Amino acid sequence: MNEIPRGTLQEQTFYEQVGGEETFRRLVRRFYQGVADDPLLRPMYPEEDLGPAEERLVLFLIQYWGGPRTYSDHRGHPRLRMRHAPFTVDKAAHDAWLRHMRDAVDELGLSEEHERQLWNYLAYAAASMVNTAD
């Protein structure tokens, strides 16, 4: 039986496999370009500048997918539902969020498997944020 020496095979995180920080920055930058002009989603961001929200989402996604833990180091546990509780997130908001995220994911040019993995998570996350029935 041939044994592979320890450390020979290094398993990369999803974060590393898709290109690291730059990929997630591109994803979130494109997403917020859509949000900036969206009459339903834009009012959910009270800051005039979307930059801070963009940075929080970038850091969250980087951490979630296996990159540095900067998000938790600065903000603690993500507590996504709690952080979104002050906002009315209904089916229309869910759909608008996913529409902008779909555009952003499509522009990344990921492999089919990576795109599917990322999209499945984003669709799950969007559904879990809904807090208001239609």
pTM of the model: 0.84
- How far does Cα 4 stand from its chain's mean position? 36
Q: Is residue 9 part of a domain?
A: no
CATH number at 97 reads 1.10.490.10
Q: Is residue 6 part of a domain?
A: no
Q: Is residue 47 part of a domain?
A: yes
Q: Is residue 23 part of a domain?
A: yes
Q: Is residue 66 part of a domain?
A: yes
In the chain, the percentage of residues whose pLDDT exceeds 70 is: 83
Output the pLDDT for position 4.
47
Nearest to 99 by CA among 41, 60, 55: 41
User: Is-contact 30 109, C-beta < 8 A?
Assistant: no
Per-residue pLDDT tens over the stretch 12-47: 999 999 999 999 999 999 999 999 999 999 998 887
Per-residue pLDDT tens over the stretch 96-106: 999 999 999 99
What is the DSSP code (8-state) at residue 71? H
Task: Please give the Cα distance from 63 to 37 (Å, whole number).
Answer: 27
Domain that holds residue 68: 16-129
Taking 50 as the threshold, does the pLDDT of residue 8 lie above it?
no
Q: What length does the chain have?
A: 134
Q: Is residue 10 part of a domain?
A: no
Q: Is residue 5 part of a domain?
A: no
Count structural domains, the chain: 1
Taking 70 as the threshold, does the pLDDT of residue 81 lie above it?
no
